[in-house]
Structure 1
Amino acid sequence: MASTTSGDVLPTGSRVFITFPDLFFIPEFVIGGLVWILVASTRVEPANPLGWVMFVSVFCFVGTTLWFFIFVCGGNQSSIWPAVDAGFHFLAVVFYLSASVDLAYITFVYGLNLPTFDILKIYRLDISAVVMSHVATLLYFLHAIFSAIRWKRA
């Protein structure tokens, strides 16, 4: 049985691409970027809930990108980083879950009156954004759970 007596709980460098909870970085990055692009390409009359969805998608996209580069560069070797890792991903789960519910509700209400084909195209983009938002929530949730398990083991 291998032991980790060297104290490096979190991976650095290219090990980020092969360790279990950290291999979620790339799908989170891609799916979060898709949510950002899909929401930005639609137009919905009550823009306020979509503003929250845009904030969440941009915040998590930038946060995941910075977090990924911190891991790759090896700046995560302090003893506090496993807790911060779990905390960031749980915050991302809460944010994305609230944004997903808001986006799904607005899309449902918007879909009740579809008068023209152009609006149907936008409605389909909104549906895609809802699906991608829920997938991003699931990815961040899995990453948060396994980061919390790793934190408790450290």
Structure 2
Amino acid sequence: MASVCPPAASTQPTLPSGPAVFKTVPYAFMLPEILCGTWVWILVAATSVSFPLLQGWVMYVSLSSCLVSLLLLLCYLFGFHKNSENWKVLDSLYHGTTAILYMSAAVLQANATIRSEFGPNSPLYYQLNCAASFFAFITTFLYILHAFSIYYQ
């Protein structure tokens, strides 16, 4: 009878730290996520925020996501993740949840853009809202890419 060997232990790829964070595929998305999210926050803040319920949620999601992503990036840069085994799970859950929240914020920002087309100061605020919608969808796409690339890594 043939002996059944136990499967070889699969080793998880180590998480990068230091400047290698910017060269590794899922973690290289973090800086563009932060930059595009900052643009969303700045562009929405530059408008008159005519629809506080819609754009308030966009501001909350973009600002909180930028801050948490910045803290997570700093943790990776300084190597704080070396003390725990659950950083991949944390990173995947965070980016998956943030992708869903950013999708809702991007849709609400697109709605605010459509509604601001014929409002007061319409050319300037409409263009700012268009740019904010564009960056919101780009940021959503980056968070989705990050979440799935961790999942398939």
Report the counterpart of residue 124 of structure 1 in structure 2: 127
Counterparts of 1:114 and 1:13, CA distance in 2: 48
Report the counterpart of residue 34 of structure 2 in structure 1: 29
Identity %, equivalent residues? 34
What 5-or-longer segments of structure 1 have no aligned partner? none
| CA deviation profile, 1:21-64 (whole Å, cap 9, x unmatched) | 11111111110110010011101322111110000000110011
1:62 aligned to which of 55, 64, 67: 67
Residue correspondence of structure 1 range 7-22 to structure 2 within 5 A: 9-22=14-27
| CA deviation profile, 1:91-112 (whole Å, cap 9, x unmatched) | 110110000001101211221x
SS at match of 1:76: helix
SS at match of 2:29: helix
Higher CA-based Rg: 2
Counterparts of 1:22 and 1:131, CA distance in 2: 22
Report the counterpart of residue 3 of structure 2 in structure 1: none
- The 8 Å contact of residues 113 and 130 in structure 2, kept in 1 or not, is answered as yes
CA-atom RMSD in angstroms: 1.5
Report the counterpart of residue 52 of structure 1 in structure 2: 57
What 5-or-longer segments of structure 2 have no aligned partner? 1-9
Q: How many residues are aligned here?
A: 143
User: Amino acid of the residue matched to residue 140 of structure 1?
Assistant: Y
- 1:106 matched to 2:112: yes
